[in-house]
Amino acid sequence: MVVAKKWIYAKSFTGYPTDENFRLEEETLADVKENEFLAEAIFLSVDPYMRPYMLQYPIGSTMIGGQVAKVVESKNAKFPVGAYVHGNFGWRTHTVCNPNKGDPNSPPYVLPDFGQEPLSLGLGMLGMPGNTAYFGFLEICQPKQGETVVVSGAAGAVGSIVGQIAKIKGCTVIGIAGSDEKCDWIKTIGFDHAINYKTADIDAELKKAAPKGVDCYFDNVGGKITEIVRGQMNTLGRISVCGTVSCYNQNKAMVSDPQRDFVWKQLKQQGFLVWQWTERWLEGIQQNFKWIQEGKLKYRETVTEGFENMPKAFVGMLKGENFGKAVVKV
């Protein structure tokens, strides 16, 4: 008999989450049946999307999210005992999974061989954030050599990868992040310029860093930063709208009407959900892995120890404490 621990969404989020939004519970799991397997979490992900997404779920739901887990019991030959899997099992230590049930956009899968790289990358550069950067940047921004690219949320899981891919494509890359330390770090991984949005005059610094204007903007944050970057976009510029983390903990709109720039500069802006490329999932992971091996992609992770610290890691990430991908080690 296996008893799982799980984090419950105990109270509706308003503003930044606090301890009272979460409750730790135990659940006795049913036996593993035909086609099912039992997974034991090793690393769990905390991601910005959890903040807005949970609002759609009833109070009392298990917190949603991806994890890297080990198969410890199985009645499904595709998920043998000992395999490491990625599954969107939520904030739980143990899960009985029937891979034929659940969201078809994000089925569980056995992780490809990461060689010497840590399994936690299955939640970061070699997982959903890596594919978000790979597809969301290349497919939507279609960067060309010599162009100028701006990335907001630049020291985070997705942004730090986008900036490096932009360098691989021969672009000049400007990152916007929330501390001097983060700005220093992204320059060590290849960004040409970094702007600390908390202390700098973003508009003035961006004009200096991008004297010929901005061709591509990968937007992780929305809000005021986006309004400023959009003001410096070139004609026929491309904006990939990945997320609006600056708004997730706010309850009001914070920006002015953007339509004028869109019309006068003929900008193209496209939103996306990474699940659009589910069919090409392994392509993204394999390309990013190749770039890691070639030394072209560098990663950093912020690892919080202990399943009991899931809420702490989540709030810390929302407040910008993470460099690169934020994960929790059980």
16 binds ligand NDP (CB under 6 A): no
Residues 6+ apart with CB under 8 A from 6: 24, 25, 26, 27, 62, 63, 90, 91, 92, 93
* Residue number, 13 or 49, with CB nearest to ligand NDP: 49
* Residue number, 32 or 228, with CB nearest to ligand NDP: 228
| Ramachandran angles phi, psi of 141, nearest 5° | -80, -25
178 binds ligand NDP (CB under 6 A): yes
- Angle at which helix 128-141 crosses helix 281-293, to 10 degrees, equals 100
Position of minimal CB gap to ligand NDP: 156
- What is the footprint of ligand NDP within residues 120-159 (CB under 6 A)? 129, 132, 153, 155-159
Binding mask 209-238 for ligand NDP (x = CB under 6 A): -----------xx-----------------
User: What separation in angstroms does the CA of 32 have from each of 3, 27, 75, 95, 210?
Assistant: 13, 15, 7, 10, 57
277 binds ligand NDP (CB under 6 A): no
Sign of CA dihedral 69, 70, 73, 78: positive
Task: Check if the beta carbon of residue 239 is closer than 8 Å to that of residue 225.
Answer: no
**What is the 8-class DSSP label of residue 184?**
H
- What is the footprint of ligand NDP within residues 87-116 (CB under 6 A)? none
One residue of 107, 213, 231, 320 binding ligand NDP per CB under 6 A: 320
* Residue number, 239 or 318, with CB nearest to ligand NDP: 318
Q: How far apart are CA 242 and CA 245, in angstroms?
A: 9
| Residues near ligand NDP (CB under 6 A) | 47-49, 129, 132, 153, 155-159, 177-179, 182, 220-221, 242-246, 272-274, 317-318, 320, 322, 326
